[in-house]
């Protein structure tokens, strides 16, 4: 029954696509028809230079997801909810402005929390990602039931502490005891796999446990449909997305459904054996999007094997690469930090390849680059760092007084 | 007819007050009955130490008015509306949160704009104050038809340029050609009286012209009622309020209605002859509220007569004084800037006189002190500088794009 359903879906999609082409009807995009290609089933051959129009839209769609976490993350020192989402799962996309003029509808089903190292002995837990799944509506323009996993980059100082732990360890939780000498970044692995007794968010489950459980649950729910798993992240979140995508395939969580990772501004995650292990995996494609002025893809360059005094290993990149160069954009101030995710998305909208200039093919609003930064030239009349809650969440009461109301509750993790 | 109406109003108010006392009914305050006293008709004798409960409320009410301008002032570099109010006259009090649990209702009838010196030759014009009048509803708890004039303190760098012009000149526009050697601060006088051909706001009228015309208009409208004129300001706005209140009385704009100025953190405005001229005026009372850690009331100490090489004059304070000392407040961080208006209002709520400690008699929300500052101790869990428009006025459109919408239009000054 499962196979028949899925087969019917694929056939129906292909017939529709064929009919549309015959009638000369063009969608604004052809993502529904081309998603397998766009998700890398041919390693993005012919799509990268010149950058395919549908693929620009596809990448921007996925790149907006870690941005949604940045936009919702409560980092207010005065708040008792610091380290969580301001918005509930149900409201996330609406609150961050992703519901307007956007047909790719998903339902957020799980918020992910990760433990990072406040000190050597003390962890703290913060909201770091989410799992979502295409709704019945969203499935139509996406072409399949997409399960989406998203990881944000570093915000908290405890995460920086782990980012700097560049010694290499065996990721036994992912590869089992016989890792084949695979070694990866100690800090990234720690964030991905650590428990934290002091927090309700990671007392019994690590970020890894949370994401795998949720993906298993969703796959069980949608096993009779055509499903994809897409993992996306930025910066630290790219490293976690890389680990997570590999983890899912290594441990056959995906039930042979295709897994794709789109990672923006991705540091190096492991050494040569890690890269080799990745290259052996089936049903997995990773695309690293790299911006010329952003040098994070070269870092770390090497690290000691954890515990050794002089056993240095060289870090390697994994996956395919899409190069962009936002220094060519006329919209940006000089010396803008090329690592900013919104700058990446601008680059994807406008890149004309390594030899071309820069021209916006996708009408992605340039104002978005000033959300949390001073990136856009002043002449565009957009306030600097304009993404902010009204009165930082202070809300006036009927008696005239003000209280901080900067959290929408979810039922998860309520004890 | 005018006199009969006014007489009836006064009589009716006094009878009501008498009846209430007889019945043992107490309002939350007795401002309606006591406003003449509170407005200084007995030079605040017996009200200042200990600070009278009604008078605390009265001062906070008036001190909130320049704060309303700070809260609404558009100082966004990227905005074409920089230098104006974000909110229309109609909406001002609602938008700044002064409508909740506040019976003292006014209608803002005029926004005032002043020209200040960008350079020696070039002026710029910015929103600096407003005129409002008690509504029929607001008149009841206020006890009379109050005409309110409010001036904010320095925001723009062009205003700082004028603040520093401490040489002394003859204020001929206020005192006429026979000033009796009255000399005042050149920069404050300039802001109060300058035109600016380059701006629609001051092309044909100075701030002085605007305020006097509006007060005259309102007095004509309400001449048959019991009217007061209350002028309030903070910092530079205190200096302008001092000038404005004196101007109104010197030029008999007030038609013998009482004029009161409540000035918060007021610098010195003129020299000895200015002080003497003030002291001769009838129907005018000025109260300076001075916070111990704020030394602006000592500044400037002296200035050259404008154009002279060595004719120094000493600046004098005018009016009565209420001293507060917010360094005694347990709520504030150490070394908080004592000049902040919200800190002043906290001081008024809590002062127990020069020899007393500090205890909040008025439940003024301490969170307000962090509106635009880092004044409140962290333990109170209030974000720093929390007063901010959602997304700094960037508003998402139906197509998903964002535009800056940070202005509500008034019909004034539309050309």
The per-residue pLDDT for range B62-93, each reduced to its tens digit, is: 999 999 999 999 999 999 999 999 999 999 99
pTM of structure: 0.92
Q: What is the pLDDT of residue B25?
A: 45
C-alpha B20/C-alpha A140 separation (Å) is 72
Which tokens sit at A275? 């890269």
Q: Tens of pLDDT along A236-254?
A: 999 999 999 999 999 999 9
Which tokens sit at A122? 């003390």
C-alpha B64/C-alpha B233 separation (Å) is 10
- Whether residue A379 lies within 8 A of chain B, CB to CB, comes out as no
SS3 B361: coil
A381:B97 CB<8 A: no
- Whether residue B395 lies within 8 A of chain A, CB to CB, comes out as no
Which tokens sit at B375? 């004044």
Indicate which residue of B199, B209, B339, B374 is catalytic.
B339
The H or E element that residue A186 is part of is: helix A186-193
Q: Tens of pLDDT along B250-267?
A: 999 999 999 999 999 999
Indicate which residue of B294, B325, B373, B406 is catalytic.
B294
Q: How far is B13 from chain A (nearest CA, A)?
A: 27
Q: What is the pLDDT of residue B29?
A: 75
Here the ipTM equals 0.92
Q: What is the pLDDT of residue B10?
A: 63
Q: What is the pLDDT of residue A179?
A: 74
Domain count, chain B: 1
**Residue B16 belongs to a domain:** no
Cβ neighbours of A79 (radius 10 Å): 20
Residue contacts between A and B (CB atoms, under 8 Å): 100
Q: Is the pLDDT of residue A1 over 70?
A: no
Band (A414; pLDDT cuts 50, 70, 90): very low
Residue of A396, A403, A405 to mutate for B, most B C-beta atoms under 10 A: A396
Q: What is the CATH number of the domain that holds A140?
A: 3.40.50.1820
Contacts of B264 (CB under 8 A, 6+ apart): B63, B66, B232, B233, B234, B235, B238, B289, B341, B344
Contacts of B283 (CB under 8 A, 6+ apart): B249, B254, B256, B257, B258, B259
- Whether residue A43 lies within 8 A of chain B, CB to CB, comes out as no
Mean pLDDT of B343-351: 98
Band (B414; pLDDT cuts 50, 70, 90): very low
Which chain A residues are closer than 8 Å to B368 by Cβ?
A: 402
Band (B11; pLDDT cuts 50, 70, 90): low
B383:A400 CB<8 A: no
**Residue A31 belongs to a domain:** no
The dihedral sign for the CA sequence B279, B282, B284, B289: positive
Residue of B82, B86, B401 to mutate for A, most A C-beta atoms under 10 A: B401
**Is-contact B404 B79, C-beta < 8 A?**
yes
Q: What is the pLDDT of residue A229?
A: 98
Query: Closest Cα partner for A235 from A301, A111, A150?
Result: A150
B78:A382 CB<8 A: yes
Share of chain B above pLDDT 70, in %: 92
Which chain A residues are closer than 8 Å to B392 by Cβ?
A: 383, 386, 388
Cβ neighbours of B246 (radius 10 Å): 28
Q: What is the pLDDT of residue A178?
A: 77
Mean pLDDT of B4-20: 61
SS3 B132: strand
Laid out side by side, the sheet with A168-169 consists of: A168-169, A184-185, A270-271, A312-316, A302-304
C-alpha A108/C-alpha A89 separation (Å) is 5
Q: What is the pLDDT of residue A19?
A: 56
**Residue A159 belongs to a domain:** yes
C-alpha A367/C-alpha A248 separation (Å) is 36
Band (A4; pLDDT cuts 50, 70, 90): low
C-alpha A161/C-alpha A158 separation (Å) is 5
C-alpha A205/C-alpha A111 separation (Å) is 13
Which chain B residues are closer than 8 Å to A400 by Cβ?
A: 97, 100-102, 365
Q: What is the pLDDT of residue A343?
A: 98
Q: Is the pLDDT of residue A74 over 70?
A: yes
**Residue A5 belongs to a domain:** no
Q: How far is A183 from chain B (nearest CA, A)?
A: 43
Indicate which residue of A339, A373, A374, A412 is catalytic.
A339
Band (A410; pLDDT cuts 50, 70, 90): confident
Q: Is the pLDDT of residue A28 over 60?
A: no
Structural domain that includes position B142: 49-404
**Is-contact A149 A215, C-beta < 8 A?**
yes
B383:A396 CB<8 A: no
**A109 against B5, higher pLDDT:** A109
Mean pLDDT of B10-18: 61
DSSP per residue, B283-326: SEEEEEEEETT-GGGG---EEEBTT-SS-EEEEE--SEEEEE-G
Query: Closest Cα partner for B173 from B125, B212, B203?
Result: B212
Contacts of B124 (CB under 8 A, 6+ apart): B83, B115, B116, B118, B156, B158, B196, B198, B199
Q: What is the pLDDT of residue A415?
A: 40
Q: What is the pLDDT of residue A2?
A: 46
**Residue B44 belongs to a domain:** no
**Residue A368 belongs to a domain:** yes
User: What is the pLDDT of chain A when averaged over all its residues?
Assistant: 94
Q: Is the pLDDT of residue B131 over 70?
A: yes
Which chain A residues are closer than 8 Å to B381 by Cβ?
A: 78-80, 404
Annotated active-site residue B346? The verdict is no
Q: Tens of pLDDT along A317-363?
A: 999 999 999 999 999 999 999 999 999 999 999 999 999 999 999 99
C-alpha A348/C-alpha B63 separation (Å) is 52
**Residue B409 belongs to a domain:** no
SS3 A195: coil
Provide the angle, in degrees to the nearest 10, between the axes of the packed helices A207-221 and A186-193: 60
Share of chain A above pLDDT 90, in %: 90
Mean pLDDT of A256-277: 97
Q: Tens of pLDDT along A117-154?
A: 999 999 999 999 999 999 999 999 999 999 999 999 99
C-alpha B289/C-alpha A325 separation (Å) is 59
Q: How far is B103 from chain A (nearest CA, A)?
A: 12
The H or E element that residue B221 is part of is: helix B207-221
Mean pLDDT of A175-193: 93
Q: What does the DSSP 8-state code read for residue B365?
A: -
Mean pLDDT of A23-50: 85
| Alpha helix ranges (H) inside B73-206 | 92-95, 136-142, 157-163, 172-175, 186-193
Band (B22; pLDDT cuts 50, 70, 90): low
Nearest neighbour of A78 by CB, restricted to B77, B382, B392: B382
A100:B76 CB<8 A: no
**Residue B109 belongs to a domain:** yes
C-alpha A216/C-alpha A107 separation (Å) is 16
Q: What is the pLDDT of residue B180?
A: 79
Q: What is the pLDDT of residue B8?
A: 65
Residue with tokens 């590999």: A246
Per the document, the length of chain B is 415
Q: How far is A100 from chain B (nearest CA, A)?
A: 5
Annotated active-site residue B339? The verdict is yes
- Whether residue A378 lies within 8 A of chain B, CB to CB, comes out as yes
Q: What does the DSSP 8-state code read for residue A348?
A: H
Q: Tens of pLDDT along A158-172?
A: 999 999 999 999 999
Provide the angle, in degrees to the nearest 10, between the axes of the packed helices B53-72 and B31-38: 80
Q: Tens of pLDDT along B174-200?
A: 999 877 799 999 999 999 999 999 999
Q: Is the pLDDT of residue B412 over 60?
A: no
Which B positions 65-94 lie with beta carbon below 8 A of chain A?
A: 76-80
Residue A21 sits at φ, ψ, to 5 deg, of -65, -40
Mean pLDDT of B337-353: 98
Q: Tens of pLDDT along B382-394?
A: 999 999 999 999 9
SS3 for B39-77, per residue?
CCCCCCCCCCCCCCHHHHHHHHHHHHHHHHHHHHECCCC
Q: Tens of pLDDT along A295-319?
A: 999 999 999 999 999 999 999 999 9
**Is-contact A139 A132, C-beta < 8 A?**
no
Q: What is the pLDDT of residue A180?
A: 80
Q: How far is A229 from chain B (nearest CA, A)?
A: 26
SS3 A115: strand
Residue with tokens 């209420």: B322
């Amino acid at each position: 029954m499962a196979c028949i359903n899925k087969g019917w879906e694929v056939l129906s999609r292909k017939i529709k696509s064929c009919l549309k082409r015959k009638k000369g009807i063009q969608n604004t995009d052809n993502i529904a028809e081309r998603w397998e290609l766009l998700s890398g089933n041919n390693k993005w051959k012919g799509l990268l230079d010149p950058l395919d129009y549908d693929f620009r839209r596809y990448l921007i769609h996925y790149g907006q997801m870690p941005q949604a976490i940045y936009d919702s993350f409560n980092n207010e020192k005065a708040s008792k909810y610091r380290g969580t989402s301001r918005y509930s799962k149900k409201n996330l996309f609406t609150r961050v402005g992703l519901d307007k003029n956007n047909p790719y509808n998903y339902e957020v089903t799980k918020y992910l929390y990760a433990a990072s190292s406040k000190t050597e002995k003390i962890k703290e837990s913060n909201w770091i990602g989410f799992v979502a799944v295409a709704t019945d509506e969203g499935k139509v323009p996406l072409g399949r039931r997409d399960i989406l996993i998203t990881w944000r980059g570093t915000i908290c100082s405890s995460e920086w502490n782990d980012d700097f732990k560049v010694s290499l360890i065996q990721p036994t939780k992912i590869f089992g005891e016989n890792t084949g000498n695979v070694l990866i970044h100690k800090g990234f692995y720690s964030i991905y796999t650590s428990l934290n007794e002091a927090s309700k968010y990671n007392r019994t489950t690590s970020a890894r446990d949370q994401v795998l459980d949720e993906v298993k649950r969703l796959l069980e729910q949608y096993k009779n449909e055509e499903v994809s798993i897409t993992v996306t992240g930025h910066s630290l979140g790219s490293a976690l997305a890389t680990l997570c995508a590999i983890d899912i395939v290594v441990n056959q969580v995906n039930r042979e459904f295709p897994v794709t990772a789109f990672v923006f501004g991705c540091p190096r995650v492991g050494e040569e054996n890690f890269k080799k292990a990745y290259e052996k995996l089936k049903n997995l494609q990773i695309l690293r999007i790299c911006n010329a002025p952003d040098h994070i893809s070269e870092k770390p360059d090497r690290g000691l094997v954890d515990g050794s005094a002089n056993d240095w290993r060289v870090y390697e990149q994994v996956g395919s690469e899409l190069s962009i160069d936002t220094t060519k954009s006329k919209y940006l101030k000089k010396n803008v930090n090329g690592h900013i995710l919104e700058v990446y998305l601008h680059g994807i909208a406008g890149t004309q390849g390594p030899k071309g200039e820069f021209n916006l093919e996708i009408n992605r609003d340039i104002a978005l680059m000033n959300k949390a930064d001073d990136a856009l030239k002043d002449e565009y009349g957009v306030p600097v760092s304009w993404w902010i809650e009204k009165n930082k969440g202070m809300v006036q009461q009927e008696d005239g007084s003000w209280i901080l109301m900067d959290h929408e509750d979810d039922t998860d993790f309520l004890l």
